[in-house]
Amino acid sequence: MTDIENRGPSSFHTAGNPLTVRPLTEADRDDAIRLDGTAFLGSTPPDFLTDFVIPTLEIERYTGVFDDSELVGVAGIFTKDITFPGGRQVPFAGVTWVGVKPGYTGRGILRSLMTDQLHGLHTRGQEPVALLTASESGIYGRFGYGMATRNASFEIPSGTAFKTDPPRGTVKQIPREQALPHLKEIHRRVAAVSPGYLSRPESIWSLLYSDHEIYRSGRSTLEFAVHADGFLAFRTKGNFDERGPRGELLVHELCAATPEARAALWRHVLDYSLVREIIYPRGSVDEMLQDLVVDPRALKTSTRDHLWLRIVDLDRTVPLRSYSAAADVVVRVVDTFCPWNDGTWALSLGPTGGTAVRTSDPEQITLDITDLAATFLGDVRLARFAAAGRVTGDAGAIRALDLALSTPLAPWSPEGF
């Protein structure tokens, strides 16, 4: 997909200076890389850029802001799919590389980049939703993004006891070259039915599974434990003190198509020799390990925001998922940044999908587009926002919409972009 067609340059003024907004080309790529390194307080090793980062870029989907010929702001898009509730894999605009050069912040550059992206997606009829991961979580709500998924981080002592141990011998460690085909097949199976999972082309597999030192931080190369219905990739770091071994095992990814496989993979690493602690930084808030252990306090857990979702076109987005219950409600949606969504909509939702149609009927519920985005995948309950006064209206209609949007488990993505 390309969105360079019909994208001519535009301009705006800030502090008396004209700035130009235009699509990037290959000639701008190195400038964009340098700006990204400056904006995020670091530089990426050249070999890592060449081997793993540059192959993933779709430079024709990047927007730049220029002060004369100097690139001072950038934002890009990855073309990706996400699994929505109900199992449909939906194209989305993966917003990435958003950065403004120091000295140019606070001048409306970020707003111009967000406008170019979201208004462009709407005008050209491209992806109906956009998603991003935020370096600062307070930024994107003003552009209509809602926090749609969370990640959980776990620290687990080695040897933590299970209520019921899985059968021994179902997990084996195998070399990378044997493991990767199995990993890709298991991920494909799980992604097809798990809300929040992202598509993963070969370039992303190479990036995520690189053993470059930028990922290792002194730990081992990736090792692979496999089960017939799952896999676990991890790194280890040895250490000893006067009391003996105190090694660390970092779970890179755990993916399982059955509860039995997940339990067996966990048991394998919890019993790993010379390891004192297991760290799992990118887990689901509904990680089943929490319900397997005898002592729940053994798990040190924290959560944080992960994917932020923006509904670009409400009428095109609502039909893309299934709903947990039927609901026919009239909703007043407030959307000042994408005004084509602003107004009153009749939502008709059910287990096979839904529709959103403009109506002149009186609204039953009033909410902001950010709150609808945050609840759309099922992580946050609409009733919670109603309790906080963020969603208002008829209590019965709110209950019906809350139930329709809910999902059995929280959506989760084991990766970012």
d(CA 120, CA 127): 10
Using alpha carbons, select from 130, 106, 111, 151 the residue that is nearest to residue 370. Answer: 130
Q: What are the respective helix, strand and coil percentages of the chain, to the nearest 5? A: 30, 35, 35
Q: What's the rounded mean pLDDT across residues 216-225?
A: 96
**237-257: per-residue pLDDT in tens?**
998 888 878 899 999 999 999
Q: What's the rounded mean pLDDT across residues 309-318?
A: 98
Q: In angstroms, what CA-CA distances link 138 with 133, 142, 354, 391? A: 12, 9, 31, 20
Q: Is the pLDDT of residue 282 over 90?
A: yes
pLDDT for res 43: 81
Q: What's the rounded mean pLDDT across residues 281-310?
A: 97
Average pLDDT, the chain: 95
Catalytic one among 78, 92, 140, 323?
140
Check: CB of residue 129 under 8 Å from CB of residue 311: yes
What torsion do the CA atoms of 183, 184, 189, 192 make, to the nearest 10 degrees? 130
417 catalytic, yes or no?
Answer: yes
Name the pLDDT band for 6 (thresholds 50, 70, 90): low
Return the ∠ at Cα 367 (arms to 365 and 369), rounded to 5°: 135
Q: What's the rounded mean pLDDT across residues 297-313?
A: 97
pLDDT for res 1: 38
Name the pLDDT band for 41 (thresholds 50, 70, 90): confident
Residue with the two structure tokens 């969370």 = 150
d(CA 347, CA 403): 14
323 catalytic, yes or no?
Answer: no
Q: Is the pLDDT of residue 3 over 60?
A: no
Name the pLDDT band for 5 (thresholds 50, 70, 90): very low
Catalytic one among 78, 209, 224, 417?
417
The full DSSP string for 379-393 is SS-HHHHHHTTSSEE
State the pTM of this model: 0.93
**148-190: per-residue pLDDT in tens?**
999 999 999 999 999 999 998 999 999 999 999 999 999 999 9
DSSP strands (E only) in 137-274: 146-147, 150-157, 172-174, 223-227, 230-237, 240-241, 244-245, 247-256
Name the pLDDT band for 15 (thresholds 50, 70, 90): low
Using alpha carbons, select from 118, 106, 122 the residue that is nearest to residue 73. Answer: 106
